[in-house]
Amino acid sequence: MYVCLCNAITDQQIKEAVSQGDYTLADVKKRLGVANQCGKCAKMANNIIQTQLAFE
Ligand code: FES
């Protein structure tokens, strides 16, 4: 599903970023550009990152 509508970024892309070593929202933002416009996706993106880290 799309998490960041401004940049068309999916939850799968965020999970893959975590798998590649991104551990914070700032890291994922740098890699994918998530939450770099309206910012409404930041909380959900962070939740996905934290959940994915629990499985890593
Ligand atoms: Fe992600 Fe707007 S929805 S920056």
| Residue to substitute in 41, 47, 49 for testing ligand 1 pocket (most ligand atoms within 8 angstroms of CB) | 41
Q: What is the ipTM of this complex?
A: 0.98
pTM score, two decimals? 0.95
List domains and CATH numbers for the chain.
Answer: 2-55 (1.10.10.1100)
- Residue 55's pLDDT band (boundaries 50, 70, 90)? confident
Q: Give whole-number Cα distances, 51 to 15, 17, 38, 44, 46, in Å.
A: 9, 13, 23, 11, 9
Separation between Cα atoms, residue 30 and residue 54, nearest integer Å: 21
How many angstroms is it from 56 CA to the middle of ligand 1?
25
Going from the Cα of 2 to the center of ligand 1, the distance in angstroms, rounded, reads 10
Amino acid letter, 42: A
Q: Is 1 helix (H, G, I), strand (E, B) or coil?
A: coil
